[in-house]
């Protein structure tokens, strides 16, 4: 397999950074798992991690803050039926590893368990990103110059830009997973992000705009062309909102723009399709496989295999290769996203969606890159079909109740549609609805699917992980809009 040599190289990197400096090797991992299986447990795994992170921020033309951190440790988990025992240590040593193993084995009754030894698990697809350390891909002076360059671009974009703030983050993350089924897999994960905020002022009124992005690569990703795109996005939003009128309120047709508005799909639908909520019966989608949950034409995908994307992974945090999962096909619910625990309890395959924030956290089913597939309509055709409505181009924050599916989202850039034309910008619009109900109100799907620029971070049960979202232009009929008019 083409993946064999890169997979071996990733394991070698993980061993050199995580095991060897502490006098650990594969025999220590085997002893720890063997110690857990002196009790009756179903499965156990070890999750080793080494992370190096750096951040810089610029404000008022000056790089004012910088940060640098190194973290490492191991999480030890044992499963017995629905029960989970977990311990972690930021000390990597044979003694610390064995002590964690003795702690988690108590989940099972005394008496030897049976280990299922199968095989090592290499990535099942081409490697999705380079195995490099992005922190080292630019010198400190070049990182400062990068932030200064984007700040100058933003100030030069329009005379009404009065303040610019920018941040640059890079992370080098190396993980290794050893499981009681014999799996041993590793991944070297680069991640970079540049964020840009501008403030525009006119006649005493101030408005804010945002831009930025990144992915799994080195800092050379941020070329001048990429930076100009971020500047255009941020300044356009800020200047547009200077002209915005109070948003209307009431039930109306809403057109969602392509790209980042897919965050509504992520929150209102995606979380409800994660396996743990459905196993417990707490999701509005529980027990509905094979049923219609969205309008015809709506197909929702979660895909962790898109090269270079922020939400992509060669392997998930349980050592399983990520994959492309069809969640809703032509409006019919076809599956959930699963980790090892919930897949086993629901008697379904894992889907490569076991994710955790760090070695100090338990894995759970989480999204990677979640998006809706394109349809056949031109975006202009969708706008022209609306007599009176709202065009939501970009979103800020939002809240969702998984059990009921109810959501509230705030539009950071939106426009009034009148007689098939975009007329004027509005401010203060919120979308209020229910995820499954909203998906059944989709009446037109654009042919312009876009993924976001690489800024998404998802929170769940106190854990944050990088994700991607996407959507084509979408018409939804009869949504409730909260406004300020």
What was the pLDDT predicted at 121?
54
What was the pLDDT predicted at 359?
98
pLDDT over 90 at 82, yes or no: yes
- What is the CA angle 417-423-424, rounded to 5? 105
Phi, psi of 43 (to 5 degrees): -160, 150
The residue-averaged pLDDT of 267-281 equals 94
What was the pLDDT predicted at 396?
84
What was the pLDDT predicted at 163?
97
The residue-averaged pLDDT of 139-150 equals 96
240, 413 Cβ separation under 8 angstroms: yes
Condensed to tens digits (0 to 9), the pLDDT of residues 20-71 reads: 999 999 999 999 999 999 999 999 999 999 999 999 999 988 998 999 999 9
The residue-averaged pLDDT of 242-266 equals 95
Which residues neighbour 352 within 8 Å (Cβ) at sequence distance 6 or greater?
Answer: 304, 313, 315, 316, 320, 321, 322, 323, 325, 368
What was the pLDDT predicted at 314?
97
pTM for this entry: 0.94
Share of the chain above pLDDT 90, in %: 89
Rg over alpha carbons for the chain, rounded to the nearest Å, is: 24
469, 456 Cβ separation under 8 angstroms: yes
Confidence of residue 112 (pLDDT cuts 50, 70, 90): low
Confidence of residue 1 (pLDDT cuts 50, 70, 90): very low
Confidence of residue 7 (pLDDT cuts 50, 70, 90): confident
DSSP per residue, 447-460:
S--EE--S--EEEE
Confidence of residue 268 (pLDDT cuts 50, 70, 90): confident
Parallel, antiparallel or unpaired: strands 83-89 and 62-80 = antiparallel
Condensed to tens digits (0 to 9), the pLDDT of residues 384-442 reads: 999 999 999 999 877 788 888 888 999 999 999 999 999 999 999 999 999 889 999 99
Closest among 402, 425, 417, 406 to 473, alpha carbons compared: 417
Helix (H), strand (E) at residue 211 = strand 205-215
Where b means 16+ CB within 10 Å and e means fewer, 402-424 reads beebbbbbbbbbbbbbeeeeeee
Confidence of residue 483 (pLDDT cuts 50, 70, 90): confident
Structure tokens at 287: 């027990």
What was the pLDDT predicted at 117?
54
Confidence of residue 204 (pLDDT cuts 50, 70, 90): very high
The overall average pLDDT reported for the chain is: 94
pLDDT over 90 at 199, yes or no: yes
Structure tokens at 247: 């948003």
181, 117 Cβ separation under 8 angstroms: yes
The residue-averaged pLDDT of 105-119 equals 69
Confidence of residue 2 (pLDDT cuts 50, 70, 90): very low
pLDDT over 90 at 109, yes or no: no
């Amino acid at each position: 397999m083409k993946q064999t040599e890169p997979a071996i190289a990733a394991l070698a990197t993980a061993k050199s950074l995580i095991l060897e400096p502490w006098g650990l090797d594969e025999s220590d991992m085997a002893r720890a798992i063997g110690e857990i299986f002196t009790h009756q447990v179903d499965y156990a795994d070890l999750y080793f991690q080494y992370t190096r992170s750096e951040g810089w921020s610029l404000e008022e033309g000056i790089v004012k803050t910088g940060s640098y951190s190194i973290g490492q440790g191991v999480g030890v988990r044992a499963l017995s039926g629905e029960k989970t025992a977990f311990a972690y240590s930021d000390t990597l040593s044979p003694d610390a590893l064995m002590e964690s193993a003795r702690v988690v084995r108590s989940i099972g009754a005394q008496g030897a368990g049976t280990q299922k030894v199968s095989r090592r698990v290499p990535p099942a697809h081409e490697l999705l990103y380079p195995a490099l350390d992005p922190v080292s891909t630019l010198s400190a002076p070049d990182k400062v110059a990068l932030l200064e360059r984007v700040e100058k671009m933003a100030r030069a974009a329009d005379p009404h830009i009065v303040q610019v703030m920018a941040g640059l983050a890079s992370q080098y993350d190396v993980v290794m997973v050893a499981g009681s089924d014999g799996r041993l897999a590793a991944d070297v994960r680069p991640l970079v992000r540049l964020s840009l905020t501008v403030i525009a002022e006119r006649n005493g009124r101030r408005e804010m705009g945002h831009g930025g992005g990144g992915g799994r690569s080195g800092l050379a990703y941020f070329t001048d062309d990429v930076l100009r795109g971020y500047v255009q996005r941020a300044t356009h939003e800020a200047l547009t909102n200077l002209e915005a009128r109070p948003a209307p309120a009431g039930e109306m047709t809403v057109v969602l723009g392509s790209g980042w508005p897919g965050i509504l799909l992520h929150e209102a639908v995606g979380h409800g399709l994660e396996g743990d909520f459905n196993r417990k019966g707490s999701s509005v989608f529980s027990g509905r496989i094979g049923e219609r949950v969205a309008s015809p034409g709506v197909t929702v995908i979660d895909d962790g295999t898109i090269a270079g994307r922020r939400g992509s992974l060669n392997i998930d945090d349980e050592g399983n290769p990520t994959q492309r999962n069809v969640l809703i096909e032509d409006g019919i619910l076809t599956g959930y996203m699963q980790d090892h625990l919930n897949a086993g309890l629901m008697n379904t395959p894992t889907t490569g969606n076991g994710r955790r924030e760090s070695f100090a956290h338990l894995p759970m089913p989480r999204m990677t890159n979640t998006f809706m597939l394109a349809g056949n309509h031109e975006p202009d055709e969708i706008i022209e079909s609306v007599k009176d409505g709202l065009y939501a181009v970009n979103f800020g924050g939002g809240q969702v109740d998984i059990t009921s599916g109810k959501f509230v989202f705030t539009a950071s850039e939106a426009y009034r549609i009148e007689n098939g034309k975009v007329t004027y910008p509005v401010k203060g619009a919120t979308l209020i609805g229910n995820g499954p109900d909203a998906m059944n109100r989709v009446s037109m799907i654009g042919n312009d699917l876009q993924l976001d620029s690489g800024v998404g971070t998802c929170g769940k049960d106190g854990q944050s992980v990088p994700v991607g979202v996407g959507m084509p232009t979408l018409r939804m009929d009869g949504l409730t809009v909260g406004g300020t008019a």
